[in-house]
Structure 1
Amino acid sequence: MTNNDEDTSRQAESLWRSDDWADLRWAREHSTPQQIARHLLDPQWRNRDYNALDELVEMTHDADLSSLSEDDLETLAASSLPELRQSVIRYKDTPARLLEDMARTESNTRLLQMLVESGRLSQNTIDLCCWNQTDSRLAASMLPKASDHLLVRLSGRDWWPSRKNAVESGRLDRARLSEMIEKENHPDVVSALIGTGEFDMDGEAKAIRRVITSPDLLTAYTNPMGRRYNLDRPGREVVRQAARTMLEHAPIG
Protein backbone atom coordinates (compact mmCIF):
# COMPACT_ATOMS: atom_id res chain seq x y z
CA MET A 1 0.00 0.00 0.00
CA THR A 2 1.39 3.41 -0.97
CA ASN A 3 1.47 6.44 1.31
CA ASN A 4 -1.41 7.94 -0.68
CA ASP A 5 -3.45 4.76 -0.20
CA GLU A 6 -2.74 4.82 3.53
CA ASP A 7 -3.77 8.48 3.77
CA THR A 8 -6.99 7.78 1.87
CA SER A 9 -7.77 4.80 4.11
CA ARG A 10 -7.19 6.86 7.28
CA GLN A 11 -9.34 9.70 5.94
CA ALA A 12 -12.14 7.28 5.08
CA GLU A 13 -12.02 5.78 8.58
CA SER A 14 -12.28 9.25 10.11
CA LEU A 15 -15.41 10.05 8.08
CA TRP A 16 -17.54 6.99 8.85
CA ARG A 17 -19.13 8.69 11.87
CA SER A 18 -19.64 12.05 10.18
CA ASP A 19 -23.07 13.70 10.34
CA ASP A 20 -22.67 14.77 6.72
CA TRP A 21 -24.02 12.21 4.25
CA ALA A 22 -21.54 13.44 1.63
CA ASP A 23 -18.71 12.42 3.98
CA LEU A 24 -20.28 9.00 4.38
CA ARG A 25 -20.49 8.62 0.63
CA TRP A 26 -16.83 9.59 0.25
CA ALA A 27 -15.87 7.07 2.92
CA ARG A 28 -17.88 4.33 1.19
CA GLU A 29 -16.43 5.11 -2.23
CA HIS A 30 -12.87 5.04 -0.87
CA SER A 31 -13.15 1.87 1.23
CA THR A 32 -12.74 -1.75 0.21
CA PRO A 33 -15.77 -4.11 0.19
CA GLN A 34 -14.27 -5.83 3.24
CA GLN A 35 -13.92 -2.53 5.13
CA ILE A 36 -17.49 -1.59 4.24
CA ALA A 37 -18.72 -4.93 5.59
CA ARG A 38 -17.00 -4.26 8.91
CA HIS A 39 -18.66 -0.85 9.14
CA LEU A 40 -22.10 -2.41 8.73
CA LEU A 41 -21.56 -3.65 12.28
CA ASP A 42 -21.12 -0.12 13.68
CA PRO A 43 -23.81 0.52 16.33
CA GLN A 44 -24.06 4.14 15.13
CA TRP A 45 -26.55 3.30 12.34
CA ARG A 46 -29.47 2.89 14.74
CA ASN A 47 -29.71 6.62 15.38
CA ARG A 48 -28.91 8.09 11.98
CA ASP A 49 -31.10 10.27 9.73
CA TYR A 50 -32.59 9.23 6.40
CA ASN A 51 -29.63 10.50 4.37
CA ALA A 52 -27.25 8.33 6.37
CA LEU A 53 -29.59 5.35 6.00
CA ASP A 54 -29.64 5.90 2.24
CA GLU A 55 -25.87 5.50 2.32
CA LEU A 56 -26.29 2.42 4.50
CA VAL A 57 -28.41 0.83 1.76
CA GLU A 58 -25.64 1.52 -0.75
CA MET A 59 -23.15 0.02 1.67
CA THR A 60 -25.10 -3.23 1.85
CA HIS A 61 -24.77 -3.55 -1.92
CA ASP A 62 -21.03 -2.79 -1.92
CA ALA A 63 -20.06 -4.83 1.15
CA ASP A 64 -18.31 -8.20 0.94
CA LEU A 65 -20.14 -10.20 3.59
CA SER A 66 -17.87 -13.19 3.00
CA SER A 67 -15.30 -11.33 5.10
CA LEU A 68 -17.60 -11.51 8.15
CA SER A 69 -17.85 -14.35 10.64
CA GLU A 70 -21.06 -16.24 11.32
CA ASP A 71 -21.35 -14.35 14.61
CA ASP A 72 -21.15 -11.09 12.65
CA LEU A 73 -23.93 -12.25 10.34
CA GLU A 74 -26.04 -13.10 13.38
CA THR A 75 -25.45 -9.58 14.69
CA LEU A 76 -26.69 -8.08 11.41
CA ALA A 77 -29.65 -10.48 11.35
CA ALA A 78 -30.70 -9.32 14.83
CA SER A 79 -30.47 -5.62 13.93
CA SER A 80 -33.52 -3.40 14.37
CA LEU A 81 -32.75 -1.94 10.93
CA PRO A 82 -34.45 -3.77 8.04
CA GLU A 83 -31.66 -2.57 5.73
CA LEU A 84 -29.16 -4.72 7.61
CA ARG A 85 -31.45 -7.73 7.96
CA GLN A 86 -32.09 -7.55 4.23
CA SER A 87 -28.37 -7.73 3.50
CA VAL A 88 -28.18 -11.04 5.40
CA ILE A 89 -31.15 -12.49 3.52
CA ARG A 90 -29.69 -11.41 0.19
CA TYR A 91 -26.23 -12.87 0.90
CA LYS A 92 -26.06 -16.24 -0.86
CA ASP A 93 -23.85 -17.89 1.77
CA THR A 94 -25.90 -17.01 4.84
CA PRO A 95 -26.43 -20.31 6.73
CA ALA A 96 -29.93 -21.72 6.22
CA ARG A 97 -30.18 -22.10 9.99
CA LEU A 98 -29.84 -18.34 10.41
CA LEU A 99 -32.48 -17.63 7.76
CA GLU A 100 -34.85 -20.02 9.56
CA ASP A 101 -34.24 -18.17 12.83
CA MET A 102 -34.86 -14.81 11.14
CA ALA A 103 -38.10 -16.00 9.56
CA ARG A 104 -39.57 -16.93 12.94
CA THR A 105 -39.41 -13.35 14.23
CA GLU A 106 -39.53 -11.20 11.07
CA SER A 107 -42.45 -8.78 10.70
CA ASN A 108 -41.28 -6.57 7.82
CA THR A 109 -43.57 -7.39 4.90
CA ARG A 110 -40.92 -7.09 2.18
CA LEU A 111 -38.38 -9.14 4.13
CA LEU A 112 -40.92 -11.90 4.71
CA GLN A 113 -41.34 -12.10 0.94
CA MET A 114 -37.56 -12.14 0.42
CA LEU A 115 -37.16 -14.96 2.93
CA VAL A 116 -39.72 -17.09 1.11
CA GLU A 117 -38.15 -16.29 -2.26
CA SER A 118 -34.69 -17.26 -0.98
CA GLY A 119 -35.54 -20.90 -1.65
CA ARG A 120 -33.68 -21.94 1.49
CA LEU A 121 -36.46 -22.27 4.06
CA SER A 122 -38.24 -25.42 5.19
CA GLN A 123 -41.90 -25.77 4.18
CA ASN A 124 -43.07 -25.15 7.75
CA THR A 125 -41.11 -21.90 7.88
CA ILE A 126 -42.39 -20.80 4.48
CA ASP A 127 -45.92 -21.35 5.75
CA LEU A 128 -45.14 -19.30 8.87
CA CYS A 129 -43.90 -16.40 6.72
CA CYS A 130 -47.03 -16.57 4.57
CA TRP A 131 -49.24 -16.60 7.67
CA ASN A 132 -47.44 -13.59 9.18
CA GLN A 133 -47.57 -11.53 5.97
CA THR A 134 -49.84 -8.50 6.48
CA ASP A 135 -49.53 -6.99 3.00
CA SER A 136 -52.30 -8.65 0.97
CA ARG A 137 -50.55 -8.09 -2.38
CA LEU A 138 -47.27 -9.58 -1.17
CA ALA A 139 -49.17 -12.37 0.56
CA ALA A 140 -50.77 -13.36 -2.75
CA SER A 141 -47.36 -13.45 -4.46
CA MET A 142 -46.02 -15.80 -1.77
CA LEU A 143 -48.84 -18.36 -1.90
CA PRO A 144 -47.42 -20.45 -4.78
CA LYS A 145 -44.79 -21.63 -2.28
CA ALA A 146 -47.29 -22.26 0.53
CA SER A 147 -48.53 -25.74 1.40
CA ASP A 148 -52.06 -26.90 0.64
CA HIS A 149 -52.62 -27.22 4.39
CA LEU A 150 -51.81 -23.54 4.90
CA LEU A 151 -54.15 -22.49 2.09
CA VAL A 152 -57.01 -24.23 3.85
CA ARG A 153 -56.10 -22.43 7.09
CA LEU A 154 -55.96 -19.08 5.27
CA SER A 155 -59.36 -19.72 3.72
CA GLY A 156 -60.87 -19.74 7.21
CA ARG A 157 -58.99 -16.78 8.62
CA ASP A 158 -60.76 -13.74 10.09
CA TRP A 159 -58.77 -11.35 7.86
CA TRP A 160 -60.77 -11.32 4.62
CA PRO A 161 -57.81 -10.65 2.24
CA SER A 162 -56.38 -14.02 3.35
CA ARG A 163 -59.63 -15.75 2.41
CA LYS A 164 -59.71 -13.95 -0.94
CA ASN A 165 -56.09 -14.84 -1.71
CA ALA A 166 -56.73 -18.47 -0.83
CA VAL A 167 -59.67 -18.63 -3.23
CA GLU A 168 -57.75 -16.88 -6.02
CA SER A 169 -54.79 -19.24 -5.62
CA GLY A 170 -56.86 -21.81 -7.52
CA ARG A 171 -55.70 -24.55 -5.16
CA LEU A 172 -58.74 -25.01 -2.90
CA ASP A 173 -60.85 -28.03 -3.73
CA ARG A 174 -64.54 -27.85 -4.58
CA ALA A 175 -65.59 -29.05 -1.13
CA ARG A 176 -63.74 -26.21 0.61
CA LEU A 177 -65.05 -23.60 -1.84
CA SER A 178 -68.60 -24.85 -1.23
CA GLU A 179 -68.13 -24.53 2.53
CA MET A 180 -66.89 -20.97 2.08
CA ILE A 181 -69.69 -19.70 -0.17
CA GLU A 182 -72.28 -21.02 2.29
CA LYS A 183 -71.18 -18.56 4.99
CA GLU A 184 -68.91 -15.90 3.44
CA ASN A 185 -70.13 -12.33 4.08
CA HIS A 186 -67.44 -10.13 2.54
CA PRO A 187 -68.24 -8.90 -0.99
CA ASP A 188 -64.66 -9.18 -2.26
CA VAL A 189 -64.34 -12.78 -1.12
CA VAL A 190 -67.75 -13.69 -2.53
CA SER A 191 -66.67 -12.04 -5.79
CA ALA A 192 -63.59 -14.28 -5.86
CA LEU A 193 -65.72 -17.35 -5.11
CA ILE A 194 -68.13 -16.50 -7.92
CA GLY A 195 -65.15 -15.98 -10.21
CA THR A 196 -64.11 -19.63 -9.81
CA GLY A 197 -67.10 -20.68 -11.93
CA GLU A 198 -67.77 -23.55 -9.54
CA PHE A 199 -71.31 -22.54 -8.54
CA ASP A 200 -74.68 -22.33 -10.22
CA MET A 201 -76.73 -19.14 -10.35
CA ASP A 202 -78.84 -20.12 -7.34
CA GLY A 203 -75.73 -20.56 -5.18
CA GLU A 204 -74.30 -17.25 -6.35
CA ALA A 205 -77.59 -15.39 -5.78
CA LYS A 206 -77.89 -16.82 -2.27
CA ALA A 207 -74.39 -15.63 -1.38
CA ILE A 208 -74.99 -12.16 -2.82
CA ARG A 209 -78.29 -11.84 -0.96
CA ARG A 210 -76.61 -12.82 2.31
CA VAL A 211 -73.86 -10.23 1.88
CA ILE A 212 -76.06 -7.26 0.99
CA THR A 213 -78.37 -7.95 3.93
CA SER A 214 -75.53 -8.46 6.42
CA PRO A 215 -75.28 -5.81 9.19
CA ASP A 216 -71.49 -6.04 8.85
CA LEU A 217 -71.69 -4.52 5.39
CA LEU A 218 -72.82 -1.20 6.86
CA THR A 219 -70.33 -1.05 9.72
CA ALA A 220 -66.65 -1.89 9.24
CA TYR A 221 -64.08 -4.52 8.34
CA THR A 222 -60.93 -5.19 10.33
CA ASN A 223 -57.40 -5.96 9.12
CA PRO A 224 -54.90 -8.04 11.16
CA MET A 225 -53.13 -4.97 12.55
CA GLY A 226 -56.29 -3.97 14.40
CA ARG A 227 -57.14 -0.87 12.37
CA ARG A 228 -60.76 -0.43 11.29
CA TYR A 229 -61.87 0.95 7.95
CA ASN A 230 -65.36 2.44 8.03
CA LEU A 231 -67.49 2.49 4.90
CA ASP A 232 -68.43 6.18 4.84
CA ARG A 233 -71.25 5.93 2.31
CA PRO A 234 -75.05 5.95 2.65
CA GLY A 235 -76.29 2.45 3.36
CA ARG A 236 -78.09 2.04 0.05
CA GLU A 237 -74.96 2.99 -1.93
CA VAL A 238 -72.85 0.51 0.06
CA VAL A 239 -75.28 -2.25 -0.89
CA ARG A 240 -75.13 -1.26 -4.57
CA GLN A 241 -71.33 -1.18 -4.54
CA ALA A 242 -71.12 -4.57 -2.82
CA ALA A 243 -73.47 -6.11 -5.37
CA ARG A 244 -71.46 -4.65 -8.25
CA THR A 245 -68.25 -6.01 -6.74
CA MET A 246 -69.64 -9.52 -6.51
CA LEU A 247 -71.20 -9.51 -9.96
CA GLU A 248 -68.03 -8.31 -11.70
CA HIS A 249 -66.63 -11.83 -11.88
CA ALA A 250 -69.85 -13.75 -12.35
CA PRO A 251 -69.57 -16.16 -15.31
CA ILE A 252 -71.75 -15.22 -18.29
CA GLY A 253 -74.17 -17.78 -19.71
Structure 2
Amino acid sequence: MIKKSILFLIAISFLTSCKKDSSEVYTQAAKDAVLGERLIVDILQQISYTCPPFIANEEDSVVNGIHLSIYPAFSDSTYPKTITIDYGNGITGILGKMRKGKIIVTINSNILATEDLAVSFNNYSSDGSEVWGDINYMYNISNKGYNGELLEDGISIINANGTMKLNGTFSFEKTSTSGTTILTDDSFYFQCTTTGIDFEQTSFSYNSSSKHSIEFSCKDYITSGTSVLIPHKKEAQTVNFGNGNCDANVVIELKDGSLKNFTF
Protein backbone atom coordinates (compact mmCIF):
# COMPACT_ATOMS: atom_id res chain seq x y z
CA MET A 1 0.00 0.00 0.00
CA ILE A 2 2.84 2.38 0.93
CA LYS A 3 4.62 1.52 -2.33
CA LYS A 4 1.47 2.34 -4.36
CA SER A 5 1.11 5.68 -2.57
CA ILE A 6 4.70 6.61 -3.32
CA LEU A 7 4.28 5.71 -7.00
CA PHE A 8 1.07 7.77 -7.15
CA LEU A 9 2.81 10.81 -5.66
CA ILE A 10 5.70 10.45 -8.11
CA ALA A 11 3.25 10.30 -11.03
CA ILE A 12 1.40 13.41 -9.85
CA SER A 13 4.69 15.25 -9.40
CA PHE A 14 5.76 14.31 -12.94
CA LEU A 15 2.49 15.44 -14.50
CA THR A 16 2.57 18.71 -12.59
CA SER A 17 6.15 19.42 -13.66
CA CYS A 18 5.21 18.96 -17.33
CA LYS A 19 3.02 22.05 -17.29
CA LYS A 20 4.49 25.39 -16.32
CA ASP A 21 2.92 27.39 -13.57
CA SER A 22 1.57 30.66 -14.96
CA SER A 23 4.01 32.53 -12.73
CA GLU A 24 6.88 31.05 -14.78
CA VAL A 25 5.62 32.45 -18.10
CA TYR A 26 8.07 35.16 -19.21
CA THR A 27 6.02 38.32 -19.71
CA GLN A 28 8.56 41.16 -20.03
CA ALA A 29 9.14 40.88 -23.78
CA ALA A 30 5.41 40.71 -24.51
CA LYS A 31 4.68 43.73 -22.32
CA ASP A 32 7.42 45.74 -24.00
CA ALA A 33 6.51 44.73 -27.56
CA VAL A 34 2.91 45.77 -26.86
CA LEU A 35 4.15 49.08 -25.42
CA GLY A 36 6.09 49.71 -28.64
CA GLU A 37 3.06 48.92 -30.78
CA ARG A 38 0.82 51.16 -28.68
CA LEU A 39 3.25 54.07 -29.01
CA ILE A 40 3.45 53.65 -32.81
CA VAL A 41 -0.35 53.88 -32.92
CA ASP A 42 -0.47 56.74 -30.41
CA ILE A 43 1.92 58.90 -32.45
CA LEU A 44 -0.18 58.51 -35.61
CA GLN A 45 -3.34 59.24 -33.63
CA GLN A 46 -1.84 62.44 -32.25
CA ILE A 47 -0.75 63.65 -35.69
CA SER A 48 -4.25 62.91 -37.02
CA TYR A 49 -5.81 64.76 -34.09
CA THR A 50 -3.71 67.93 -33.98
CA CYS A 51 -2.56 68.69 -37.53
CA PRO A 52 -5.72 68.88 -39.70
CA PRO A 53 -7.26 71.97 -38.02
CA PHE A 54 -3.86 73.71 -38.08
CA ILE A 55 -3.32 72.96 -41.78
CA ALA A 56 -6.85 74.17 -42.54
CA ASN A 57 -6.32 77.40 -40.59
CA GLU A 58 -2.85 78.55 -39.56
CA GLU A 59 -4.38 80.67 -36.80
CA ASP A 60 -5.75 77.49 -35.19
CA SER A 61 -2.31 76.77 -33.74
CA VAL A 62 -3.35 75.63 -30.25
CA VAL A 63 -5.35 72.40 -29.90
CA ASN A 64 -6.42 71.67 -26.31
CA GLY A 65 -3.23 73.29 -25.02
CA ILE A 66 -0.97 71.65 -27.62
CA HIS A 67 0.99 74.25 -29.62
CA LEU A 68 1.67 73.78 -33.33
CA SER A 69 4.10 75.60 -35.59
CA ILE A 70 5.30 75.11 -39.16
CA TYR A 71 8.43 75.88 -41.18
CA PRO A 72 8.50 77.20 -43.87
CA ALA A 73 5.28 79.10 -43.21
CA PHE A 74 2.05 78.25 -45.03
CA SER A 75 2.44 81.51 -46.97
CA ASP A 76 5.61 80.07 -48.51
CA SER A 77 4.79 77.61 -51.30
CA THR A 78 7.97 75.63 -50.60
CA TYR A 79 7.73 71.95 -49.59
CA PRO A 80 8.62 69.89 -47.67
CA LYS A 81 7.45 71.61 -44.52
CA THR A 82 8.03 70.64 -40.91
CA ILE A 83 5.22 70.74 -38.35
CA THR A 84 6.17 70.76 -34.67
CA ILE A 85 3.57 69.43 -32.23
CA ASP A 86 4.64 70.83 -28.86
CA TYR A 87 3.26 69.49 -25.57
CA GLY A 88 5.61 71.62 -23.48
CA ASN A 89 6.07 70.38 -19.93
CA GLY A 90 2.96 68.24 -20.06
CA ILE A 91 -0.53 68.10 -21.55
CA THR A 92 -3.17 65.55 -20.57
CA GLY A 93 -5.08 64.52 -23.68
CA ILE A 94 -8.75 63.74 -24.22
CA LEU A 95 -8.16 60.03 -23.53
CA GLY A 96 -6.26 60.76 -20.32
CA LYS A 97 -2.67 60.30 -21.53
CA MET A 98 0.04 62.69 -20.35
CA ARG A 99 2.43 63.76 -23.10
CA LYS A 100 5.50 66.00 -22.99
CA GLY A 101 8.05 67.33 -25.48
CA LYS A 102 7.68 67.48 -29.25
CA ILE A 103 6.60 65.35 -32.18
CA ILE A 104 8.16 66.66 -35.40
CA VAL A 105 6.42 65.78 -38.69
CA THR A 106 7.70 66.44 -42.20
CA ILE A 107 5.07 66.66 -44.96
CA ASN A 108 5.20 67.24 -48.73
CA SER A 109 1.77 68.79 -49.30
CA ASN A 110 -1.10 70.35 -47.38
CA ILE A 111 -3.34 67.29 -47.74
CA LEU A 112 -2.48 65.43 -44.54
CA ALA A 113 -4.95 62.57 -45.08
CA THR A 114 -2.91 61.26 -48.03
CA GLU A 115 0.57 62.32 -46.93
CA ASP A 116 3.71 60.34 -46.22
CA LEU A 117 4.71 61.30 -42.69
CA ALA A 118 8.37 61.42 -41.64
CA VAL A 119 8.38 61.62 -37.85
CA SER A 120 11.09 62.39 -35.30
CA PHE A 121 11.05 63.46 -31.66
CA ASN A 122 12.49 66.02 -29.29
CA ASN A 123 12.26 64.92 -25.64
CA TYR A 124 8.86 63.40 -26.45
CA SER A 125 7.14 61.12 -23.94
CA SER A 126 3.70 59.55 -23.61
CA ASP A 127 2.56 58.44 -20.15
CA GLY A 128 6.15 58.39 -18.90
CA SER A 129 7.72 56.54 -21.84
CA GLU A 130 10.18 58.61 -23.90
CA VAL A 131 10.53 57.81 -27.61
CA TRP A 132 13.77 58.33 -29.53
CA GLY A 133 14.42 57.62 -33.19
CA ASP A 134 12.65 58.11 -36.51
CA ILE A 135 9.45 56.59 -37.88
CA ASN A 136 8.08 56.76 -41.42
CA TYR A 137 4.34 56.38 -42.03
CA MET A 138 4.02 56.03 -45.83
CA TYR A 139 0.50 56.49 -47.16
CA ASN A 140 -0.99 53.47 -48.95
CA ILE A 141 -3.61 54.64 -51.43
CA SER A 142 -5.05 51.13 -51.94
CA ASN A 143 -6.26 50.71 -48.35
CA LYS A 144 -6.18 54.32 -47.11
CA GLY A 145 -3.68 53.29 -44.47
CA TYR A 146 0.08 53.36 -44.05
CA ASN A 147 3.12 51.19 -44.59
CA GLY A 148 5.55 52.05 -41.84
CA GLU A 149 9.16 51.59 -40.91
CA LEU A 150 11.21 52.13 -37.76
CA LEU A 151 14.27 53.63 -39.42
CA GLU A 152 17.93 52.66 -39.08
CA ASP A 153 18.37 51.07 -35.63
CA GLY A 154 14.68 51.43 -34.81
CA ILE A 155 13.25 53.34 -31.89
CA SER A 156 14.38 53.42 -28.27
CA ILE A 157 11.83 53.66 -25.48
CA ILE A 158 13.00 54.88 -22.08
CA ASN A 159 11.02 54.88 -18.85
CA ALA A 160 11.40 53.92 -15.19
CA ASN A 161 12.11 50.30 -16.22
CA GLY A 162 15.17 51.26 -18.28
CA THR A 163 15.66 51.24 -22.06
CA MET A 164 14.14 48.96 -24.68
CA LYS A 165 14.45 48.92 -28.48
CA LEU A 166 12.13 48.02 -31.32
CA ASN A 167 12.99 47.65 -35.00
CA GLY A 168 11.12 46.56 -38.12
CA THR A 169 8.10 47.35 -40.26
CA PHE A 170 4.36 47.73 -39.76
CA SER A 171 1.17 48.55 -41.65
CA PHE A 172 -2.17 50.22 -41.02
CA GLU A 173 -5.25 49.39 -43.10
CA LYS A 174 -8.25 51.67 -42.61
CA THR A 175 -11.45 49.75 -41.83
CA SER A 176 -13.89 52.50 -40.78
CA THR A 177 -14.29 56.26 -40.50
CA SER A 178 -17.31 55.82 -38.16
CA GLY A 179 -19.26 57.86 -40.70
CA THR A 180 -17.50 61.12 -39.80
CA THR A 181 -14.71 63.28 -41.17
CA ILE A 182 -13.01 63.26 -37.75
CA LEU A 183 -9.81 61.21 -37.92
CA THR A 184 -9.73 60.42 -34.21
CA ASP A 185 -12.66 57.99 -34.36
CA ASP A 186 -11.22 55.98 -37.27
CA SER A 187 -10.54 52.25 -37.10
CA PHE A 188 -7.64 50.31 -38.61
CA TYR A 189 -6.12 46.88 -38.89
CA PHE A 190 -2.49 46.80 -37.76
CA GLN A 191 0.22 44.25 -38.56
CA CYS A 192 3.94 44.24 -37.81
CA THR A 193 7.14 42.31 -38.32
CA THR A 194 9.56 43.42 -35.63
CA THR A 195 12.49 42.51 -33.43
CA GLY A 196 13.54 44.15 -30.22
CA ILE A 197 15.31 44.12 -26.87
CA ASP A 198 13.11 44.34 -23.79
CA PHE A 199 13.73 46.24 -20.56
CA GLU A 200 15.48 43.16 -19.10
CA GLN A 201 17.78 43.17 -22.18
CA THR A 202 16.29 39.97 -23.60
CA SER A 203 16.04 40.02 -27.39
CA PHE A 204 12.79 38.95 -29.05
CA SER A 205 10.85 38.77 -32.29
CA TYR A 206 7.26 40.00 -32.41
CA ASN A 207 5.20 39.29 -35.53
CA SER A 208 1.47 39.62 -36.13
CA SER A 209 -0.28 36.28 -36.74
CA SER A 210 -3.70 37.87 -37.27
CA LYS A 211 -4.67 41.48 -37.87
CA HIS A 212 -4.87 43.67 -34.77
CA SER A 213 -7.97 45.86 -34.54
CA ILE A 214 -7.09 49.46 -33.72
CA GLU A 215 -9.68 51.93 -32.45
CA PHE A 216 -8.44 55.53 -32.24
CA SER A 217 -11.30 56.28 -29.82
CA CYS A 218 -10.12 53.60 -27.35
CA LYS A 219 -7.58 54.82 -24.79
CA ASP A 220 -5.09 52.01 -25.40
CA TYR A 221 -6.12 51.47 -29.04
CA ILE A 222 -5.61 47.70 -29.51
CA THR A 223 -8.84 45.70 -29.07
CA SER A 224 -8.27 42.34 -30.79
CA GLY A 225 -5.83 40.22 -32.79
CA THR A 226 -2.85 37.97 -32.11
CA SER A 227 0.92 37.99 -32.48
CA VAL A 228 3.64 35.39 -32.06
CA LEU A 229 6.41 36.52 -29.73
CA ILE A 230 9.65 34.58 -29.29
CA PRO A 231 11.98 35.72 -26.48
CA HIS A 232 15.63 34.64 -26.86
CA LYS A 233 16.15 31.06 -25.60
CA LYS A 234 12.56 30.88 -24.40
CA GLU A 235 9.39 29.29 -25.74
CA ALA A 236 7.27 30.93 -28.41
CA GLN A 237 4.21 32.74 -27.07
CA THR A 238 0.87 33.64 -28.59
CA VAL A 239 -0.05 37.18 -27.54
CA ASN A 240 -3.85 37.50 -27.71
CA PHE A 241 -5.59 40.89 -27.44
CA GLY A 242 -9.09 39.41 -27.20
CA ASN A 243 -12.23 39.87 -29.25
CA GLY A 244 -12.83 43.60 -29.50
CA ASN A 245 -13.21 44.96 -25.98
CA CYS A 246 -11.49 48.22 -25.07
CA ASP A 247 -10.04 46.73 -21.87
CA ALA A 248 -6.26 46.76 -22.49
CA ASN A 249 -6.11 43.08 -21.56
CA VAL A 250 -3.66 40.59 -23.08
CA VAL A 251 -3.39 36.83 -22.60
CA ILE A 252 -0.07 35.08 -23.26
CA GLU A 253 -0.35 31.39 -24.15
CA LEU A 254 2.41 28.78 -24.50
CA LYS A 255 2.14 25.57 -26.54
CA ASP A 256 1.58 23.52 -23.38
CA GLY A 257 -1.50 25.59 -22.54
CA SER A 258 0.11 27.72 -19.85
CA LEU A 259 -1.57 31.13 -19.65
CA LYS A 260 -0.63 34.49 -18.21
CA ASN A 261 -2.51 37.75 -18.60
CA PHE A 262 -1.51 41.37 -18.14
CA THR A 263 -2.93 44.81 -18.83
CA PHE A 264 -1.14 47.43 -20.90
What is the TM-score normalised by the length of structure 2? 0.27
**Structure in which a larger fraction of residues adopt helix:** 1
Higher RCO structure (Cα 8 Å, ≥6 apart): 2
**Structure in which a larger fraction of residues adopt strand:** 2
**Higher Cα Rg, which structure:** 1
